[in-house]
Amino acid sequence: MSFFDYFKTKKQNTASIAKERLQIIVAHERTTRNQPDYLPQLQQELLDVIRKYVSIREEDIQVQLDKNGNCSVLELNVTLPE
């Protein structure tokens, strides 16, 4: 590092970037943690079926399985284009 670089360097707080990235990925992984293994494939096949009729993007479909006591609820969210 040259003498003048000392004045130029803006202090970048990389620890706060790390914390932010971790909070996002950990939150995401926690929601998918207890899901059955077949869910991604189910999501893909549902996507294929819907695409036969409406053109949607990969991220327009969300599949989630929630357990409520002794019954499970399969929640399917599809955002259709306008």
Partner 1 sequence: MAKIIVVTSGKGGVGKTTTSASIATGLAKRGKKTVVIDFDVGLRNLDLIMNCERRVVYDFVNVINGEATLTQALIKDKHVDNLYILAASQTRDKDALTKEGVEGILNKLAETYDFIICDSPAGIEHGAQMALHFADEAIVVTNPEVSSVRDSDRILGILQSKSRRAELGMDPVGEHLLLTRYNPERVLKGEMLAVEDVKEILAIKLLGVIPDSQSVLNASNQGVPVILDENSDAGQAYSDAVDRLLGEDKEHRFLDIQKKGFFKRMFGG
Residues 32 and 40: beta-carbon distance below 8 Å:
no
Counting contacts by CB under 8 A, is residue 14 touching partner 1?
yes
Segment contacting partner 1 (CB under 8 A): 8-16, 42-50, 62-70, 71-79? 8-16
Options 5, 29, 58, 59; binder of partner 1; rule CB under 8 A:
29
Residue 51 CB, shortest distance to partner 1, in Å, is 32
Interface with partner 1 includes 21 (CB under 8 A)?
A: yes
